[in-house]
Structure 1
Amino acid sequence: MSGAFNHPPDIGAAVAEQAVSWLIEMQGGALTPLRQQAWEQWLQAHSEHQRAWEHIQRVNQRLRNVSSPLAHAALNAPKSSSRRQALKLLLLLGAGSALTYGLRDQLPITPLLADFSTPVGQRRRLQLHDGSQIHLNTGSSVDVHFDAQRRVIRLLEGEMLLTSAQDARPLQVLTAHGALQPQAARLNVRQFGDRTELAVFDGRVELTPQAHPGPALWVQPRQQLSFDRQGWNAPRPLDAGSGAWADGMLVAAHMRLGDFLAELGRYRRGQLNCDPTVADLLISGTYPVDDSERVLDLLQISLPVRVRRFTRYWVTVEARV
């Protein structure tokens, strides 16, 4: 049985066109102060504008992993009408029109049409019919398909924490890089463009990379690793902060500031930039992902940095003068 279909928020054609226009303009080069102010005013004018902007950014990112003429037009012709029309079409398809569900199996844009998803800055708990539980992180999506013979969970993008339930049917977790078969396990799975990261808290997980010719690997409790389509890195002990996001926390243990801000930026809209001159500063501690403004203020106390807020959606952390 498939999970409930989760339509993205409704976005009108006019607003979709505006969002596409802004995206194309930004990708053509840095905005002037006046244009940046105009974009900010457009974004804040209506909640539909904010939904459209968040959605078109997600569409643009996902296109990089899609192979189709539509995606090719959207990515490779930045000044052409074909790119504008392709982006607009994908944005509108992702907005939940009546045709979208029927086209779902024919169009290579399944992350836009996922059974379950979370927007930027939100997390979501799911209780599946077999008793398994999924916790989706920010900007994540999954498809769920259960039938009489098997249970399949496909991570389309982002990150999830899965607690698998005992069931006579085998459970398979699919990512872009391979297949996982949990055995009464609790595991964290995060998908990147070039790899998937797996952390196993309890139970054990059988790992089969997509193009690996040899036998599968059993990942044991309290182990984590990265894998791609060809193979895996050596398992290592579980990081102390692995999975802390499910409790709304970001744990840093001598983490580079640049890496820390990249992680924190996943939970907020807009751009969170790190000046290269301070990117290698080290940070430790536990920080709430739901209050990124407070975290940024704390950085100015604990590190020799200052936070420059050009707008609410464009923030840079740089050296303190």
Structure 2
Amino acid sequence: MNTPFSPQVAQQAVHWLLESQDESFDQQQALEHWLHADSEHQRAWAHIQQVNGRLRGVASPVVHATLQAPPSPARRRALKALLLVGVASATGLGLQQHNPLPGLMADYRSPVGQRRRLALDDGSQLHLNTRSAADVRFDGQQRLVRLKEGELLLEAANDPRPLRLQTAQGELQVQSGRVNVRQFDGFSLVSVFSGSAQVAGRSLLAGHQARFATGSWQAIAPLDPNRAAWVDGMLVVAQMRLGDFIAELSRYRLGQLGCSEQVADLRISGSYPLADSERILAMLEVALPVKVRRFTRYWVSVEAATG
């Protein structure tokens, strides 16, 4: 595999492989359409089949247990994680940025489309957004919350012990307050609703948000008041690009949800219930000149309306 393919295509290839292994699979025509739409798809499909074959020869109890487990959503998620690790090198981005296994092994996880609230031992509240994972380590000297994947909101209680919040980019100090942190590739986005957060001796005060990377704040800006609307099960946007909106909505759905470049720059505002993404897609067809095209239940594209 000399020419890398994108992480998005890698995920699509994994999706189609998992679908095709289902005994009730009846979307062969849709798979053929995807394969012939782009040579990148064909290269990714050939590679994922090789990865799938190599998994059968790996002498690992974890891999063996996953392959031998009866069909279930949990088995599907675990197998998807193994396959994504296998294709990561072919995306040209490496395993460190796109390794899903740390999330699977975290203390607390929330699956796609679900949110989770946890009461911590010190009285703090930890909220996990869709497809998120975190470790929690409290002892007599410190409180540590490590975001391993996705997004969390921490409502930190007053406590004499220091509270450390770690992401892939470094460590924040939060004494008390309400802080939202989302993990991206290469940076974390920190939003402080109350209290403050410190990194490398510099504070980010309530009412502000910033990118955090390499031990310093970047692009400090006024707080987006809708940043934590997900805690209440809502996606609230104001004049957001449709392409960005669809990317955000796709976090809460299984499968592939895309947006055509023809309509990606349309603007959208409103409050949308995350528990019903199908309803949101239906609302888009009413509010904007778009058509929701469904190749399968798990492969949906928002495109320009015709006629």
Superposed pair shares fold, TM > 0.5: yes
Q: How many angstroms apart in 1 are the aligned matches of 2:210 and 2:30? A: 47
> Aligned partner of 2:232: which letter?
D
Q: Which residue of 2 aligns with 1:172?
A: 164
Q: Which residue of 1 aligns with 2:188?
A: 196
Q: Against the structure 1 CA distance between its residues 318 and 77, is the aligned structure 2 distance closer, same or farther, given a 3 Å change threshold?
A: closer
Q: Which residue of 2 aligns with 1:51?
A: 74
Q: Against the structure 1 CA distance between its residues 201 and 60, is the aligned structure 2 distance closer, same or farther, given a 3 Å change threshold?
A: farther
Aligned-CA RMSD value: 2.9
Q: Which residue of 2 aligns with 1:281?
A: 266
- Alignment equivalent of 2:29, drawn from 24, 30, 33: 33
Contact 1:265 1:271 in 2 (8 A): yes
Ranges in structure 1 where 5+ consecutive residues have no aligned partner: 1-18, 38-45, 64-72, 79-90, 95-108, 209-215
- Alignment equivalent of 1:22, drawn from 17, 25, 31: 17
Shift of 1:52: 2.9
Q: What do the CA deviations read for 1:232-281 (whole angstroms, capped 9, x no partner)?
A: 22321111311000001101111000100010010010111101100110
Shift of 1:58: 4.2
Q: Which residue of 1 aligns with 2:297?
A: 312
Q: What do the CA deviations read for 1:17-42 (whole angstroms, capped 9, x no partner)?
A: xx89926999xxxx9516579xxxxx
Contact 1:54 1:269 in 2 (8 A): no
Contact 1:252 1:284 in 2 (8 A): yes
Contact 1:151 1:170 in 2 (8 A): yes
1:156 partnered with 2:148 = yes
Q: Against the structure 1 CA distance between its residues 293 and 263, is the aligned structure 2 distance closer, same or farther, given a 3 Å change threshold?
A: same
**More displaced, 220-229 or 231-240?**
231-240
Q: Which residue of 1 aligns with 2:206?
A: 221
Q: Which residue of 1 aligns with 2:247?
A: 262
Q: Against the structure 1 CA distance between its residues 261 and 59, is the aligned structure 2 distance closer, same or farther, given a 3 Å change threshold?
A: farther
Q: Which residue of 1 aligns with 2:47?
A: none
Q: What do the CA deviations read for 1:44-77 (whole angstroms, capped 9, x no partner)?
A: xx9934433333334555x4xxxxxxxxx66337
Task: Give runs of aligned pairs for residues 245-256 of structure 1, distance below 5 A.
Answer: 245-256=230-241
Contact 1:20 1:56 in 2 (8 A): no
1:205 partnered with 2:197 = yes
Q: Which residue of 1 aligns with 2:229?
A: 244
Contact 2:207 2:223 in 1 (8 A): yes
Q: Which residue of 1 aligns with 2:275?
A: 290
Contact 1:164 1:186 in 2 (8 A): yes
* Length-normalised TM-score, structure 2: 0.73
Contact 2:262 2:303 in 1 (8 A): yes
Q: Which residue of 2 aligns with 1:76?
A: 89
SS in 1 for 2:137: strand
SS in 1 for 2:248: helix
SS in 1 for 2:141: coil
> Aligned partner of 1:22: which letter?
L
Identity of aligned residues (%): 48
Q: How many angstroms apart in 1 are the aligned matches of 2:121 and 2:292? A: 46
Q: How many angstroms apart in 2 are the aligned matches of 1:315 and 1:24? A: 15
SS in 2 for 1:153: strand
1:141 partnered with 2:136 = no
> Aligned partner of 1:200: which letter?
V
Q: Against the structure 1 CA distance between its residues 127 and 60, is the aligned structure 2 distance closer, same or farther, given a 3 Å change threshold?
A: farther
Q: How many angstroms apart in 2 are the aligned matches of 1:48 and 1:159? A: 29
Q: Against the structure 1 CA distance between its residues 34 and 287, is the aligned structure 2 distance closer, same or farther, given a 3 Å change threshold?
A: closer
SS in 2 for 1:232: strand
Q: How many angstroms apart in 2 are the aligned matches of 1:21 and 1:250? A: 28
1:234 partnered with 2:219 = yes
Task: Give the aligned length.
Answer: 246
Q: Against the structure 1 CA distance between its residues 223 and 293, is the aligned structure 2 distance closer, same or farther, given a 3 Å change threshold?
A: same
SS in 2 for 1:48: coil
